[in-house]
Structure 1
Amino acid sequence: MTSTGVPTGTEYVRRQNTGLVLRSLRSQGTATRTELARRTGLAKATVGTIIGELEAVGAVNEDDSTPTGRGRPGRPITLTGQSIVGLGLEVNVDYVAAVGLDLAGTVRVIKTRAVGAAGKPPSARELVELATDVGNALADNGHTVVGATVAVPGLVAHDNRTVSWAPNLGWTGRELAAEIEAAFDGSFPTTIDNDANCAALAEAAHGVTTDVQHSLYITGTIGIGAGIVQGGNLLRGGAGFAGEVGHMPIGDPHAVCGCGRSGCWEASIGLRAMLGAVGMAERATPLLTAAAVAAQARTDADVRAALTGVGTALGTGVATLAAVLDPSVIVLGGYFVPLGEYIVPAAQDVLAARLPSAGIHLPEIRLSTLGIHAAALGAAEHALADVFAGSLPR
């Protein structure tokens, strides 16, 4: 390591090789040293050195109960990762959430808190308090947080640390990463990302798009955003703002959006727009709200009709996006999930009618299975990215 913190050539190669081994164990599962050498293209001696270092910090476990020798299989190595955790955080209009995820993809802690009151957006303090509580709980259980990522419903600056514009939170230019780092005395780096991007990552790693390379995730909260996965990677665009689909001018032209404009898509299909259509009040979180609406819809034909209208408006936007992006799967998250049986059929009908290529390929609409923690879970995956890339010092 040089005095500027930039790794030397040897140190850089060591980190890259370590990341290569970790990625192989995470994506392809348990393997012997010989198998890891074959998978990664590294020398067996190099793999042995890396495994020794990883075992010393509790990242892997080599089963020493398996006898080795001529003609016998090597000892299987498993990615445990229990001691190394990424902290994923989400701040939204009416809740904050946190997920602690270890290297093996095991969730170590998960928490959600309702925040804000009477139309008042949450403060950064509420997010910091949750982050501190979860961070302390992880430390008490022997886990080390190596990085954090915060998912926000808005635009994030190029520095990946500053909220450029989050109209539903009332935040502009907030240096949120620095606030989180200060709460932990700078013990680990923090980045910021869009909530839909994070949720899309979570679906690809843990949810309903693990089987496809091209997907489109649509959030279902007060705001509407999209996470776009192409070829297994997030599509971010020239300025990193790809996915701000909630402000496409395809909604009711008379509906006023939280951004101050009229006719935005989210002003027709966002959580509060849906509540306005069904004439019901908001609950503590989007999922609790949607569950109450679903219960009412079972016996109320007017509510069912209103939800069909929301599904039609949803389908209009989804068809537009599908025509441009050609996803294999479209995932609906947030409040859409409990209301899927009332919203999805109408959306599918519009998608089939409006998508020019529907006769050749009609994207499948799937409901998220990750619940309200999807964005925080994806943020936790993002927080571990430098470890798997081999760019985080150990």
Structure 2
Amino acid sequence: MTPTRPGGTEHLRRQNTALVLRSLRTEGAATRTELARRTGLAKATIGTIVAELGTGGAVSEDQSAPSGRGRPGRPVTLTGESIIGLGFEVNVDYLAAVALDLGGNARISTIRQVESAGPPSIGEVISLVTETRDSLIAAGHSIVGATVAVPGLVAHDNRTIAWAPNLGWDNVELAAQLEAVLGGACPVTVDNDANCAALAEAAHGVSIDVPNSLYITGTVGIGAGIVHDNLLLRGGAGFAGEVGHMPIGNHSRVCGCGRLGCWETSVGLRAMLAAVGMEEESTPLQTAVAVAARAAHDAQTRAALTTLGHDLGTGLAALAAVLDPAAIVLGGYFVPLGAYVVPAAGAVLAERLPSASIHLPQIRLSSLGIHAAALGAAERSLSGVYAGTVVL
């Protein structure tokens, strides 16, 4: 399974195949006649493509359905259980892995707490990638791509971590190292964790119904994934979404980037823990669950979370005024604390957003849990198949 290059008839065939795959993924199973209608391709072309995809295990036809003159055709279904896109997330205190098959089903979904006292080492990442690869190969799967989500800036090559202050990584050529681990069997890319989580929400989560959304991570750092007309908005250098470093936080606190007053110094995970006087647990979600349990019977904790919600809403109002999202999705540690944080954030958003009387973005809580970024990374790894640039 290798990348393709534009080249006349062969390139056209790849693009037509990708068109059929996209139709099956987004619109569901269909007969060959229905696929021809959906895609605008000739029925004979559809027949050739379906036969090839069936041989490769990407689709199946319901052989039990009657077929023939005057009868409905057999439905073609996107299966692809053995065709895998890999997604990983590297965060300050945990690592995550998701293996997604071509039909969008998770074959592996795992979380690993960082073993070291500080951020994870490259060796820990390599260990997780190796174990995941070995498990998939042993089960007979074929990996078409891998993407790593990181909390930081990724260079335009989508392979190099330019700056990830909370990890302490600068100019790390992570993709090249992981391609060596995978034996050169598939391409590896690197992307921002918020971008990946935003993709996951748009494909599997609570923003699937809107073309324009804003995803906010809730971990040690705060980042945003911006989806505009169903596409990620990346900016001129690919660094769009570094909202955690907007200078609207507590100006007496030093951020992980070394500056004073970044937004995450007021609404990041550790800022929240300092406000409620609790210790961090193994993952941001487990930490937030413990805080929510205390808030249920402790007025001071609830008051601290209300203040945090106010600070969160101030930043959301600024972002919504610029981006005009239909929905704002809160992920990570914000989810278990939604009952205490969202009302205050929503009130500030309604008060501070100039267009609130005409359009007020909905604040939604992520439904994907801590695997959101890794799931989105896995989706990104399958994108070459749906774009026709990877040969099945």
TM-score with structure 1 setting the length: 0.97
Deviations 1:335-382 (A, max 9, x none): 000011111111001001100000111110000010000000000000
Whether the aligned pair in 1 keeps the contact of 2:5 and 2:389 (CA below 8 Å) is: no
Aligned to 2:242: 244
Q: Distance in 1 between matches of 2:203 and 2:6?
A: 30
Q: Compute the displacement of 1:117 (Å).
A: 3.6
Deviations 1:54-96 (A, max 9, x none): 1111110011222222211111100001111100000000000
2:212 counterpart letter in structure 1 = H
Q: Compute the displacement of 1:7 (Å).
A: 4.6
1:207 counterpart letter in structure 2 = G
Q: Distance in 2 between matches of 1:349 and 1:5?
A: 51
Which of 333, 339, 342 is the aligned partner of 1:341? 339
Aligned to 1:105: 104
Assess, with a 3 A threshold, how the Cα gap between structure 1 residues 86 and 5 changes in structure 2: closer, same or farther. closer
Q: Distance in 2 between matches of 1:116 and 1:139?
A: 26
Aligned to 1:68: 67
Aligned to 2:141: 143
Q: Compute the displacement of 1:5 (Å).
A: 6.8
Whether the aligned pair in 1 keeps the contact of 2:154 and 2:190 (CA below 8 Å) is: yes
Assess, with a 3 A threshold, how the Cα gap between structure 1 residues 220 and 40 changes in structure 2: closer, same or farther. same
Which of 209, 212, 215 is the aligned partner of 2:210? 212
Aligned to 2:151: 153
Q: Compute the displacement of 1:393 (Å).
A: 2.3
Unmatched 5+ residue regions in structure 2? none
Matches within 5 A, 1:116-195: 116-118=115-117, 120-195=118-193
Aligned to 1:296: 294
Structure 1 range deviating more: 6-15 or 346-355: 6-15
TM-score with structure 2 setting the length: 0.98
Q: Compute the displacement of 1:6 (Å).
A: 3.4
Which of 263, 270, 273 is the aligned partner of 1:272? 270
Q: Distance in 2 between matches of 1:133 and 1:310?
A: 39
Task: Please tell me the root mean square deviation across aligned C-alpha atoms, in Å.
Answer: 1.1
Q: Distance in 2 between matches of 1:218 and 1:357?
A: 21
Q: Compute the displacement of 1:180 (Å).
A: 1.0
Q: Compute the displacement of 1:300 (Å).
A: 1.3
1:59 counterpart letter in structure 2 = A
Q: Distance in 2 between matches of 1:57 and 1:11?
A: 17
Aligned to 1:36: 35
Identity rate, percent:
69
Whether the aligned pair in 2 keeps the contact of 1:308 and 1:346 (CA below 8 Å) is: yes
Counterpart of 1:158 in 2: which secondary structure?
coil
Whether the aligned pair in 2 keeps the contact of 1:274 and 1:307 (CA below 8 Å) is: yes
Q: List structure 1 runs of 4+ shifted beyond 2 angstroms.
A: 4-8
Deviations 1:175-204 (A, max 9, x none): 000111111111110000000000000000
Q: Compute the displacement of 1:8 (Å).
A: 2.5
Counterpart of 2:111 in 1: which secondary structure?
strand
Unmatched 5+ residue regions in structure 1? none
Whether the aligned pair in 1 keeps the contact of 2:4 and 2:390 (CA below 8 Å) is: no
Q: Distance in 2 between matches of 1:192 and 1:231?
A: 23
Counterpart of 1:148 in 2: which secondary structure?
strand
Whether the aligned pair in 1 keeps the contact of 2:4 and 2:391 (CA below 8 Å) is: no
Whether the aligned pair in 2 keeps the contact of 1:161 and 1:176 (CA below 8 Å) is: yes
Q: Distance in 1 between matches of 2:49 and 2:265?
A: 52
